[in-house]
């Protein structure tokens, strides 16, 4: 595990084994813990978006969508890079849910969005026990009580979303204390879930350019 500071936020980068250990503890807890994935767009937007920064700051575990992002803000050896780029934690935590017979609720802003989320998750870990699907209009100021009650009646072990982090941050700020679920796994809507990028020369060049752009943005950032 290494401590990483990004945009004034102190994060802990954990190995897959460490993150899975945290997940096991969260599943035994009655309080909601949020696990967030961070991709390029999340970091870029977080520079000016307080809501996204608050979501990352309150997350119990953070994971990276691509290894070059961790290399930008910390250090990343070859083993950790493989874990990140091949989505090992996401695959293993989903398989843990399946093997343990634990249920999952999928949330999104439409049936079509939830269908896409389920299809991509199933590509990584077939056989997921999807016990509930809940439409939540995160960005429209929807009253959370009915939506939360619907989820709580099913009592899944984990909620998974694939949505905008600004809207999710505002919604969770109101609703999190009322949710009787152990884990909310948040995936940014800009992150391909099941697609693992093939590494090559062009990918390396693109990652290097993006890393440099992020580094400049992060260096110019001043927390307000």
Quote the pLDDT of residue 211.
67
Write the CB contacts of 136 (distance below 8 Å, at least 6 apart in sequence).
107, 108, 109, 142, 144, 147, 171
Total domains in the fold of the chain: 1
Condensed to tens digits (0 to 9), the pLDDT of residues 193-203 reads 875 555 555 66
Helix axes 50-58, 165-175, angle to 10 degrees: 60
Tell which wins on pLDDT, 180 or 138: 180
CATH code, domain with 111: 3.40.50
Q: Report the relative pairing of strands 104-108 and 61-64 from DSSP bridges.
A: unpaired
Helices (H), the chain: 16-27, 40-46, 50-58, 67-73, 78-85, 88-99, 111-124, 144-154, 165-175, 201-220
Condensed to tens digits (0 to 9), the pLDDT of residues 53-100 reads 999 999 999 999 888 888 887 788 889 888 898 899 999 999 999 999
Quote the pLDDT of residue 151.
92
Q: Report the relative pairing of strands 158-163 and 183-188 from DSSP bridges.
A: parallel
Q: What is the DSSP string of 133-147?
A: EEE--GGGT--HHHH
* Range of the structural domain that residue 83 is part of: 2-220
């Amino acid at each position: 595990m290494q401590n990483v500071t990004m945009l004034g936020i102190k994060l802990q980068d954990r190995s897959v084994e460490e993150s899975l250990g945290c997940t096991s503890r969260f599943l035994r807890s009655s309080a909601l813990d949020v696990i967030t994935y961070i991709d390029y767009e999340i970091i870029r937007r977080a520079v000016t978006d307080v809501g996204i920064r608050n979501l990352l700051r309150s997350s119990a575990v953070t994971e990276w969508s691509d290894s070059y992002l961790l290399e930008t803000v910390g250090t990343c050896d070859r083993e950790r890079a493989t874990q990140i780029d091949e989505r090992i934690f996401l695959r293993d935590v989903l398989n843990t849910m399946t093997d343990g017979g634990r249920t999952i609720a999928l949330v999104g802003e439409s049936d079509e969005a939830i269908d896409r989320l389920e299809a991509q998750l199933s590509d990584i870990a077939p056989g997921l026990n999807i016990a509930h699907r809940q439409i939540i209009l995160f960005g429209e100021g929807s009253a959370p009580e009915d939506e939360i009650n619907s989820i709580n009646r099913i009592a899944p072990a984990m909620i998974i979303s694939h949505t905008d982090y600004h809207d999710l941050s505002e919604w969770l700020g109101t609703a999190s204390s009322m949710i009787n679920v152990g884990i909310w796994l948040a995936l940014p809507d800009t992150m391909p879930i099941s697609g693992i990028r093939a590494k090559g020369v062009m990918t390396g060049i693109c990652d290097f350019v993006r890393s440099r752009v992020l580094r400049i943005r992060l260096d110019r950032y001043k927390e307000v």
